[in-house]
């Protein structure tokens, strides 16, 4: 046997066992990366209500859910969203795979949904195909209020219809969601940016308008002047905004088809009593839009407060080698809408409080309570519990705080006798009944 030499320290403790040493490991402090956020349990009621309303409205208006991957071939966004857009030039998150493929985290839904429409032969389904989705998107933008690097959108698309009725229906869907959420006074701004026949003339007119002041434009607008003059109207810098406010109106350049289409959309909106503001300078930041473009705002009208953005994209399916197919869609930021609801003081009632609460005492009481808890699950009755608390007082306090109407007490005595105490939490009246009768008794009392 090896003799263990006593050290000075252990010897001085006179035979008392030495304290177990704490394991040593390296510690690091971790924090959220910039521009992302947690959605904490107390926030979830808003999200749950929002998602439920979106699914209900989608069903009512005949939209089917689609889920597209979080990452796709980067060319989908370069070609679809557009090489000259801020999203692709500055904000896209890329992933280089081991096979040297370049993928991108989705910065928006439309290109992925259009890809799925083509890839799954949805042109063979009855047209139009009406799809919706919700989920996270990623843009490496400068984080600020209402602008995140990971955020969530709801997205609705109607693919395969050229009529203005689809543009109006997409707008209507979002307004219905807002009404059901209780969001007050959403304001719609709308414009038409024409098609590949009429927009070139408008672009020429814009270039002429800006030519004299080209040196006064901001760095980005100098690039836009060369690459995508429509986006000059979208700039948020004061000096560029001033120039934009005197620019020619696109509406004066629309071809007959685009003019009639826009007229048709506005007539449908009038018919549906949807108020709108015409904004001749609304162009939206993405390359694929044709004809109708629109935005919906809440109380604030700044660039960080657009709640919904959308429009028609009649060329996108064809751009991805699909058959020429007209389409229209829009997306709304969930975070921004929830923030708007809070600003407008719209409360969401949480309806997840258990009306019944199990209280247990002693080992046997706890064991039987676990079993009883499962019985309630099978009967679809929500019950509260505090299995980790040993005292009846603290458990009753929790039941009271949760607003439970009935407390079911299973102590050592009751567990041995196969009985249970049922306590009315309002009157304090108690009754002991056989354990096997408790589910029916609770059902009876909850019905009253
Ligand atoms: P877009 O896809 O850029 O047309 O945006 C549609 C909607 O998504 C906007 O109106 C916002 O509500 C929301 N949104 C866009 N970008 C962000 C962002 N970085 N953070 C939070 N919400 C956003």
**What pLDDT score was predicted for residue 2?**
42
By C-alpha distance, which of 134, 129, 132 is closest to 117?
Answer: 129
* Beta carbon of 361 within 6 Å of any ligand 1 atom: no
Residue nearest atom 12 in ligand 1 by C-alpha distance? 333
* Beta carbon of 161 within 6 Å of any ligand 1 atom: no
By C-alpha distance, which of 47, 79, 20 is closest to 333?
Answer: 47
Q: Apex CA 283: angle with CA 278 and CA 288, to 5°?
A: 130
Task: Write the burial class of residue 445 (CB in 10 Å: 0-12 exposed, 13-18 middle, 19+ buried).
Answer: middle
* Beta carbon of 308 within 6 Å of any ligand 1 atom: yes
**What pLDDT score was predicted for residue 7?**
47
Q: List, in order, residues 6 or more apart from 184 with CB less than 8 Å away.
A: 344, 346
Residue nearest atom 16 in ligand 1 by C-alpha distance? 147
This prediction has a pTM of 0.89
**What pLDDT score was predicted for residue 29?**
94
C-alpha 296/C-alpha 294 separation (Å) is 7
Residue nearest atom 18 in ligand 1 by C-alpha distance? 147
Q: List, in order, residues 6 or more apart from 263 with CB less than 8 Å away.
A: none
> Kind of pairing, strands 290-297 and 187-192?
antiparallel
Residue nearest atom 11 in ligand 1 by C-alpha distance? 333
C-alpha 448/C-alpha 442 separation (Å) is 10
pLDDT digits over 170-212, tens only? 999 999 999 999 999 999 999 999 999 999 999 999 999 999 9
Residue nearest atom 14 in ligand 1 by C-alpha distance? 333
C-alpha 96/C-alpha 388 separation (Å) is 48
* Beta carbon of 140 within 6 Å of any ligand 1 atom: no
**C-alpha of residue 273 to centroid of ligand 1, in Å:** 26
**What pLDDT score was predicted for residue 13?**
53
**C-alpha of residue 91 to centroid of ligand 1, in Å:** 12
Domains of the chain plus CATH, in order, are: 41-198+254-343 (3.30.930.10), 356-447 (3.40.50.800)
* Beta carbon of 307 within 6 Å of any ligand 1 atom: yes
Which two three-digit tokens encode residue 382? 């929500």
By C-alpha distance, which of 300, 372, 287, 283 is closest to 337?
Answer: 300
Cβ 227 vs Cβ 84: under 8 Å: yes
**C-alpha of residue 300 to centroid of ligand 1, in Å:** 15
Counting as low any pLDDT under 50, the low residues of the chain are 1-12
**What pLDDT score was predicted for residue 236?**
83
């Amino acid at each position: 046997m090896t003799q263990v030499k006593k050290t000075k320290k252990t010897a001085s403790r006179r035979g008392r066992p030495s304290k177990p040493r704490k394991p040593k490991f390296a510690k690091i402090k971790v924090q959220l990366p910039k521009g992302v956020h947690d959605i904490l349990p107390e926030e979830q009621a808003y999200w749950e209500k929002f998602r439920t309303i979106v699914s209900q409205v989608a069903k009512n208006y005949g939209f089917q859910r689609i889920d597209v991957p979080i990452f796709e071939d980067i060319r989908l966004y370069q070609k679809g969203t557009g090489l000259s857009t801020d999203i692709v030039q500055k904000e896209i998150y890329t992933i280089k795979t081991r096979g040297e493929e370049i993928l991108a985290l989705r910065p928006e839904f439309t290109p992925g949904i259009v890809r799925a429409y083509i890839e799954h032969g949805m042109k063979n389904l009855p047209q139009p195909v009406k799809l919706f989705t919700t989920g996270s998107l990623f843009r490496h933008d400068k984080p600020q209020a209402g602008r995140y690097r990971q955020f969530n959108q709801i997205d609705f698309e109607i693919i395969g219809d050229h009529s203005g009725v689809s543009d109006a229906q997409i707008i209507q869907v979002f307004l219905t969601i807002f009404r059901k959420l209780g969001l007050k006074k959403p304001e719609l701004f709308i414009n038409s940016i024409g098609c590949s026949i009429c927009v070139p003339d408008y672009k020429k007119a814009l270039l002429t308008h800006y030519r004299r002041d080209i040196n006064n434009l901001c760095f980005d607008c100098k690039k836009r002047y060369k690459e995508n003059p429509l986006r000059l109207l979208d700039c948020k810098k004061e000096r560029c905004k001033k120039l934009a406010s005197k620019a020619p109106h696109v509406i004066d350049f629309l071809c007959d088809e685009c003019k009639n289409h826009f007229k048709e959309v506005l007539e449908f909106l009038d018919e549906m009593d949807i108020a709108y503001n015409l904004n001749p300078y609304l162009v939206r930041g993405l390359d694929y839009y044709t004809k109708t473009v629109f935005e919906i705002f809440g109380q604030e009208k700044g660039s960080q407060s657009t709640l919904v953005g959308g429009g028609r994209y009649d060329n996108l399916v064809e751009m991805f080698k699909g058959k020429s197919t007209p389409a229209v869609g829009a997306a709304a930021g969930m975070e921004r809408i929830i923030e708007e609801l809070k600003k407008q003081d719209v409360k969401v009632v949480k309806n997840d409080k258990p009306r019944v609460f199990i209280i247990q005492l002693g080992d046997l009481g706890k064991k039987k309570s676990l079993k009883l808890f499962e019985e309630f699950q099978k009967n679809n009755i929500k019950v509260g519990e505090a299995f980790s608390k040993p005292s009846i007082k603290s458990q009753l306090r929790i039941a009271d705080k949760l607003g439970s109407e009935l407390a079911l007490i299973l102590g050592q005595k009751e567990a041995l006798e196969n009985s249970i105490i049922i306590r009315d939490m309002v009157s304090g009246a108690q009754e002991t009944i056989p354990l096997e009768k408790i589910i029916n008794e609770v059902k009876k009392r909850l019905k009253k």
